[in-house]
Amino acid sequence: MREIYRSDYNVIAVDDERRLVRRTRTALPYPSFAEIGDIMEEMMRALGTLDRARHVQLADVRLGPPRNDAAFEQFIAPFTQQLYRGFRRCAILVKTHAGRLQFTRILNHGGYEHVQVHLDEVTAMAWLLSPSIPPRPPR
């Protein structure tokens, strides 16, 4: 995989052969909303170099510090749309059932039919790389 972005908070790498984008969240907490905005803009620029319609994305957030306060979710909502829009499929890989519920709630606001939330990397990758889209797993 070739790395196209790295910060203290996120790493984005691309497997050109499988047309897979792997976005990994590190364990370091974001310091402030202002810095989150800057970091998200940097990631958008990196993702902007890709033809999203030809790629799938695995967002591995298992190491990320849990955060579900309303102010954070409201601030991050526009960036969430930008992070997942345009990819053929996206899988969000979470560590806990609570994380799965949180992302499912966020995704239920519409426009995320191509995104699934998984607890297991093997099943996430199988869904991303399968030639046909199977029914959505229960959330």
pLDDT tens, position by position, 54-74: 999 999 999 999 888 888 888
Q: Is 25 part of a structural domain of the chain?
A: yes
pLDDT confidence bin for 105, thresholds 50/70/90: confident
Give the predicted TM-score (pTM) of the model.
0.89
Q: Is residue 136 part of a domain?
A: no
Q: How confident is the model at residue 133 (pLDDT cuts 50, 70, 90)?
A: low
Which of 34, 33, 36 lies closest to 9 in space, CA to CA? 36
Q: Identify the band that residue 138 occupies on the pLDDT scale cut at 50, 70 and 90.
A: very low
**Residue 136: exposure state from Cβ atoms within 10 A (0-12, 13-18, ≥19):** exposed
Q: How many domains does the chain have?
A: 1
Residue 134, in any domain of the structure: no
Is 65 within the bounds of a domain?
Answer: yes
Which residues form the domain of 11?
Answer: 2-129
CATH for 58: 3.30.750.24
